[in-house]
Amino acid sequence: MTFQCQRCGAKALFRRLYSGEILCERHFQQSLEERVKTTIRRYKLFNRTDKIAIALSGGKDSTTLLHILSKLEAKFPQVSLSAITIDEGISGYRKEALKIASKVCSELRVPHIIVSFEELYGATLDQIVGKARSLGSRLEPCSYCGVLRRKALNIGARRLGVLKLATAHNLDDEVQTLLINVFHGDIFRLARSGPISPNSLGRFPIRVKPFYEIPEPEITLYAYTLGLKFQSKPCPYARLSLRTEVRSIVNRLEFSHPGMKFTILKTFEKIRSWSNMAVKDLELRECESCGEPSIGRLCKACEMLLRLGIS
């Protein structure tokens, strides 16, 4: 049985189970771009004179975000777009992504910089993970990677002189992160999650998530329909993460209960506002060692590296 697009009657490509929409390729692409615009408007992610940097890994999500935002940027001449790629130093993995990221930026004429862990911390992620294992650390490689990359992105944004950092976190990432924060009992992160970072002290980039309400499979489909090139090889450390387990549980739930991911997201939004998890009470200060945002005396990155004897 062939389905027809509800907007134009052409052969359908996609059926959005949680909303009932049936769309052809062109209207699917259009609807995804509309949803991104709606997210930007709803959460006031950008203004018309923003200098924006995209955290570009060279993977599917951030490459797609770059394409969509550069399309939008063309309509706002006072907005400027640039990209930052972090080279964590993961052998056999990151090089390919760096090439893809550089190529797509030069095709779209987007200024691009690369910031490496080795340059900033004096060690690659591989070396940091090796050191952590030799010291018997139970932290997953992704925990080191996430914390150190966050700091590296702040530094990259400062080098580019931007105060808005757009990341390609999508609905799936967001839901997984919320649940992981619950499993870790991390109230601070739970309070600070959402489509726009609540506090930047005026000196650190404000993080925004234009894909906050976009399910990952839709980004994948959009990227394929446009024929975008991106890195598809998985990170060798990915299999070790708690996120992988959470992803598979949430996907199973979504399959049997379409719309479940949105329900989880919206429920956490309500809990956050009802319980008035006062973000203002969780204000950041500057790390005493490096000056980056921190809740304690030292930021997480400095704490981690100090514990490993790396800095």
Asked if residue 237 lies in contact with residue 145, where contact means CB atoms within 8 angstroms, the answer is yes
**Binding flag, residue 287, Zn ion (CB under 5 A):** yes
Cα angle for residues 241, 242, 246 (degrees, 5° grid): 125
Q: Please identify, using beta-carbon distances, which residue of 29 and 170 lies nearer to ligand SF4.
A: 170
99 vs 297 by CB, closer to Zn ion = 297
Nearer to ligand SF4, 5 or 132 (CB): 132
Of Zn ion, ligand SF4, none, which one sits near residue 145, judging by CB under 5 to 8 A according to partner kind?
ligand SF4
Taking the least distance from each CB to ligand SF4, the nearer of 27 and 300 is 300
Contact residues for ligand SF4, defined by CB under 6 A: 88, 141-142, 145-146, 235, 237-238, 241
Among 116, 127, 251, 289, binds Zn ion (CB under 5 A): 289
Pick from 266, 84, 261: which is nearest to 167 by CA?
84
**What residue 219 binds from ligand SF4, Zn ion, none (CB within 5 to 8 A, per partner kind)?**
none
Yes or no: say if 112 and 56 are a contact pair by the CB < 8 Å rule.
yes
CB of 227 to ligand SF4, least distance (A): 25
Closer residue to Zn ion in complex, CB, 147/246: 147
Q: Residue 135: name its binding partner from Zn ion, ligand SF4, none (Cβ under 5 to 8 Å by kind).
A: none
Q: Which does 85 bind (CB under 5 to 8 A by kind): Zn ion, ligand SF4, none?
A: none
Show the site string, 1-40: x = touches Zn ion by CB under 5 A, - = not: ----x-xx-x-------------x--x-------------
Q: Which does 238 bind (CB under 5 to 8 A by kind): Zn ion, ligand SF4, none?
A: ligand SF4
For the chain, what's the residue count?
A: 311
Shortest distance in whole angstroms from residue 152 CB to ligand SF4: 11
- Binding partner of 299, given Zn ion, ligand SF4, none, CB within 5-8 angstroms per partner class: Zn ion
Interacting span for Zn ion (CB under 5 A) from 161-169, 194-202, 259-267, 281-289: 281-289
Considering just the CA atoms, what is the radius of gyration of the chain in Å? 20
Given ligand SF4, Zn ion, none, residue 104, with its beta carbon under 5 to 8 Å by kind, binds none
Segment near Zn ion (CB under 5 A), from 30-38, 128-136, 190-198, 279-287? Answer: 279-287
Q: Which residues bind Zn ion (CB under 5 A)?
A: 5, 7-8, 10, 24, 27, 287, 289-290, 292, 299, 302
